[in-house]
């Protein structure tokens, strides 16, 4: 089940997605994190953030809306407390997800994470739909996405993976701009902008009005985008994400072009999801006559 993200080997392709496993502590109460291919930590900004007002989750058929708003303890505490604590629980590669509201903030947080031996990859979230003047604003234009990529690449020698937004017309052009600006890999997709209305109160369900939709309902969209990007950026490692909830979905995502797969909403429904998917993978591989997962990447 081994796969590679550039020079980094993963024992399997399954990674809990940023924002759905915190910094690993709660998830470690459910299972031994050491079964995971890697872990993507919660999006980190320069300063601590409380996030958006409640309610900030709305359940939907085939998925959920979230409008967390990048709640996190800030990069100082992530470095001083969260990453060392995670390292005690998990020996594998840690993917540090960073976010920001300006090019300077992305560069500052990335430069701080660059000093951390515990972080193997920097995943740059230019796709958060739940904050104003930040996040997704950088991921919806090729020029802005390239500018963030360059700013982060200038301050780190760690591999930089840009995390792309599905809320665009042409994801391939954003992906290409990131790769041309030096991105080592790409992660896609983040959540799709959506909303729910409480028809009795005649008010939006989310205090933020809009939120990011994810879960099984977005799987075909994520798959299509991974496939388009794999053709637009041959040779660039992709982490596929969006709606994966079973071992068959991991295989499908890899056939579309992903070298590894992140799992988000499924963890909120079932905290054991990642471990169960890893346990199910060998049986599904056998059924499909797959000897090495690496062989199926981008076969479609």
- Residues forming the site for ligand FMN (CB under 6 A): 17-20, 42-43, 66, 68, 70, 97, 125, 128, 163, 190-191, 214-215, 218, 241-244, 263-266
Select which of 21, 128, 178, 233 is catalytic.
128
Q: Between vectors from CA 246 to CA 287 and to CA 206, what angle results, nearest 5°? A: 165
How far apart are alpha carbons 211 and 207 in whole angstroms? Answer: 9
Q: Quick one: DSSP state of residue 38?
A: -
231: Cβ–Cβ under 8 A, 6 or more apart, which residues?
172, 257
Residue 7 Cβ vs ligand FMN, minimum distance, rounded to whole Å: 23
Residue 217 Cβ vs ligand FMN, minimum distance, rounded to whole Å: 8
Nearer to ligand FMN, 68 or 186 (CB): 68
Nearer to ligand FMN, 146 or 244 (CB): 244
Residue 99 Cβ vs ligand FMN, minimum distance, rounded to whole Å: 6
Query: Nearest to ligand FMN by Cβ — which residue?
Result: 19
Task: Report yes or no: 83 and 58 within 8 Å, Cβ to Cβ.
Answer: no
Which residue from 261, 249, 251 is spatially nearest to 62, judged by alpha carbons?
A: 249
Three-state SS at 77: helix
Nearer to ligand FMN, 28 or 245 (CB): 245
Nearer to ligand FMN, 124 or 181 (CB): 124
How far apart are alpha carbons 297 and 289 in whole angstroms? Answer: 14
Residue 67 Cβ vs ligand FMN, minimum distance, rounded to whole Å: 9
The residue with tokens 């998830």 is: 27
How far apart are alpha carbons 139 and 126 in whole angstroms? Answer: 5
β 63-66/94-98 pair status = unpaired
Nearer to ligand FMN, 61 or 202 (CB): 61
- Catalytic site includes residue 187: no
Task: Report yes or no: 21 and 266 within 8 Å, Cβ to Cβ.
Answer: no
β 14-16/8-10 pair status = unpaired
Q: Which residues pair with 186 in a beta bridge?
A: 162, 238
Residue 191 Cβ vs ligand FMN, minimum distance, rounded to whole Å: 5
Chain CA centroid to CA 126, Å:
11
Nearer to ligand FMN, 50 or 202 (CB): 50
Q: Which residues pair with 44 in a beta bridge?
A: 98
Three-state SS at 74: coil
Residue 202 Cβ vs ligand FMN, minimum distance, rounded to whole Å: 26
Question: What is the set of active-site residues?
Answer: 128
């Amino acid at each position: 089940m081994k796969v590679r993200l550039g020079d980094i080997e993963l024992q399997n392709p399954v990674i809990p997605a940023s924002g759905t496993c915190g910094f690993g502590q709660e998830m470690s109460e459910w299972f031994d994190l050491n079964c995971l291919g890697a872990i993507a930590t919660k999006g980190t900004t320069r300063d601590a953030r409380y996030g958006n007002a409640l309610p900030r989750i709305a359940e939907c058929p085939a998925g959920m809306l979230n409008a967390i708003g990048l709640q996190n303890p800030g990069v100082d505490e992530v470095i001083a407390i969260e990453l060392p604590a995670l390292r005690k629980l998990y020996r594998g590669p840690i993917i540090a997800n960073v976010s920001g509201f300006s090019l300077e903030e992305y560069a500052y947080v990335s430069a701080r994470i660059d000093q951390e031996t515990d972080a193997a990859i920097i995943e740059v979230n230019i796709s958060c739909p739940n904050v104003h003047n930040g996040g997704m604003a950088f991921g919806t234009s090729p020029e802005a996405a390239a500018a963030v990529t360059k700013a982060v690449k200038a301050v780190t020698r760690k591999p930089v993976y840009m995390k792309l937004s599905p809320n665009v017309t042409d994801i391939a052009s954003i992906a290409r701009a990131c790769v041309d600006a030096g991105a080592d890999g790409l992660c896609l997709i983040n959540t799709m902008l959506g909303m729910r209305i409480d028809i009795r109160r005649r008010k939006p369900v989310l205090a933020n009005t809009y939120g990011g939709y994810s879960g099984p309902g977005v799987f075909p969209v994520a798959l299509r985008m991974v496939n388009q990007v794999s053709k637009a950026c041959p040779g660039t490692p992709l982490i596929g994400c969006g709606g994966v909830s079973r071992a068959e979905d991991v295989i499908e995502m890899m056939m579309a072009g992903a070298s590894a797969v992140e799992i988000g909403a499924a963890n909120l429904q079932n905290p054991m999801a990642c471990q169960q998917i890893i346990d199910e993978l060998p049986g599904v591989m056998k059924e499909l006559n797959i000897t090495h997962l690496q062989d199926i990447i981008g076969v479609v």
